[in-house]
Amino acid sequence: MKIKDRVLKLSFIALLISMTAAMFYAPTASAHGEKSQAAFMRMRTIHWFDLHWSKEEVAVNDTMTLHGKFLVFAGWPETVDKPEVSFLNIGIPGPVFIRAGSWIGGQLVPRSVSLELGETYEFKVLLKARRPGDWHVHSMMNVQGGGPIIGPGKWVTVTGSMADFVNPVTTLTGQTIDLESYALDNVYFWHAVWFAIAFAWLLFWIKRPLFVPRHIAVSTGKANTLISAGDKKVGLAFALGTVVIVAASMGSTNDKYPVTTPLQAGLLRGMKTFQMPEQTVSVKVEDATYRVPGRAMNMTLTITNNGDSAVRLGEFETAGVRFLDPAVHEDDTNYPDDLLAEEGLTVSDNSPLAPGESRTVEVTASDAAWEVYRLADLIYDPDSRFAGLLFFWDAKGTRQMVTVDAPLIPTFI
């Protein structure tokens, strides 16, 4: 019995040491699992477009911006909470950048905002490089109850040394501090104090008989004998000591930092929307299918031009993947190659659609990105619907955007 109990003790100590060691191990991550996010989430929630990463290579301590626009889709899925409490964020593998500032509609948004369905917003995020490496930088919107909605990502290289990184800020009292190292010694100290207290508490109980003797005592109705009067005194001492340490440290901190402000957690409402050019083109989706063997989506669209100038369809965008008709529009923004199908859009009749004219056309969006980014998984959803943005251009280069949303039927031949 004693040998078995000793083995259990050693096993428990080994497990404790292993868990402690694991706390200090942080494997490097370079990209994200955006491909594993449900296709309907990426298609029918936030549509990111006109994105621009200001730099592809940035040195530690230098800044870059990610800016563009996003449409809060009017046909928001019922299974996802509405974006009434949302936070503009950046999807990166850990603190490789710091967010120096973020804006929606020109307004600083350091906290959560309320977004309206069907509205378009312009945004910008200022990033400061912190850790060298090649990192995938995404736009992202955190929605309360809906989780993170990840947008398109692009590889950005950070050069230099992390040892040179500084993050100076000036407090409300005029003191300049470096947030990267401020009070770091104090953080280490208190972690060590509480870890030592917790370890002492565990050791106090580990020295007692563990599982087998305790099980026997409980099974025989002698559970009360497992806790002695001395054990209760030790437990009381730990409890009182913890209260004293917390009270004393809190008093000391209040004396040292008499001026403090609480974390700001309010909700910003009434965000300024971005006014897109007046929509003069209407589109009706007559039919939509996804051809599995060809990795292509086929749409039958009835397009009506109610404007004053002829227009042509030049782009279809969904879940950050862009399908272009190069005869109408060519990308010059250095958009990520894996998300850009430069010749992926074909239209059965893409001649200029005259004012007042209506035409039914067959539109095909084809590219390996349907499978690479697992957008084809949409056909296996209970609510198999697609959504996206159609962009039309006139002879003067004026662009207008039309949203589409319809059921999608798979074909396997």
Q: In what order do the strands lie in the sheet with 321-324?
A: 340-341, 321-324, 311-318, 385-394, 399-407
* Average model confidence (pLDDT) across the chain: 90
Tens of pLDDT, residues 363-407? 999 999 999 999 988 888 887 889 999 999 999 999 999 999 999
The reported pLDDT for the residue numbered 16 is: 60
- Of 239, 216, 235, 237, which is closest to residue 227 (Cα–Cα)? 235
Closest CA to 60 of 156, 164, 155: 164
Q: Does one domain contain both 399 and 319?
A: yes
pLDDT average, residue stretch 217-234: 82
238-274 per-position pLDDT tens digit: 999 999 999 999 999 999 888 888 888 889 999 999 9
Instruction: Tell me the three state secondary structure of residue 367.
Output: coil
Determine, yes or no, domain membership for 16.
no
Instruction: Domain count for the chain, please give it.
Output: 3
Flag whether 317 is in a domain.
Answer: yes
Side-chain half-sphere exposure of 292, counting CA atoms within 13 A: 9
Assess whether 56 and 143 both reside in one domain: yes
Shared domain for 130 and 206, answered yes or no, is no
Q: What is the pLDDT of residue 205?
A: 81
**Which range marks the domain in which residue 334 is found?**
281-411
Q: Which residues, other chains included, contact 301 with Cβ-Cβ below 8 Å and sequence gap of 6+?
A: 283, 284, 285, 286, 360, 361, 363, 404
pLDDT for position 239: 95
Q: Residue 269 falls within a domain, yes or no? A: no
Over residues 118-138, the pLDDT tens digits come to 999 999 999 999 999 999 999
* CATH number for the domain harbouring residue 313: 2.60.40.1580
Question: Is residue 4 in some structural domain?
Answer: no
Let me know if residue 246 belongs to a domain.
yes
Predicted confidence (pLDDT) per residue in 32-83, tens digit: 567 778 888 999 999 999 999 999 999 999 999 999 999 999 999 988 999 9
* Number of neighbouring beta carbons within 10 Å of residue 51: 22
Contacts of 272 (CB under 8 A, 6+ apart): 104, 105, 106, 107, 121
Residues 147 and 214 in one domain: no
pLDDT value of residue 212 = 77
**Same domain flag for 311 and 344:** yes
Q: Is residue 17 part of a domain?
A: no
Q: Are residues 290 and 405 in the same domain?
A: yes
CATH code of the domain covering residue 197: 1.10.287.710
Same domain, 223 and 327: no
Output the pLDDT for position 29: 47
CATH code of the domain in which 66 resides: 2.60.120.570
3-state secondary structure of 132: coil
SS3 of 269-297: CCCCCCCCCCCCEEEEEEEEEEECCCCEE
Instruction: Provide the pLDDT for residue 5.
Output: 56
Residue 6 within any structural domain of the chain? no
Asked whether residue 218 falls in the same domain as residue 111, the answer is no
For 306-310, 347-351, 372-376, which range has the lowest pLDDT when averaged over its residues?
Answer: 372-376
Q: Say yes or no to pLDDT of 31 above 60.
A: no
The answer to whether position 310 is within a domain reads yes
- What pLDDT, on a 0 to 100 scale, did the predictor assign at position 18? 66
**pLDDT given at position 1:** 47
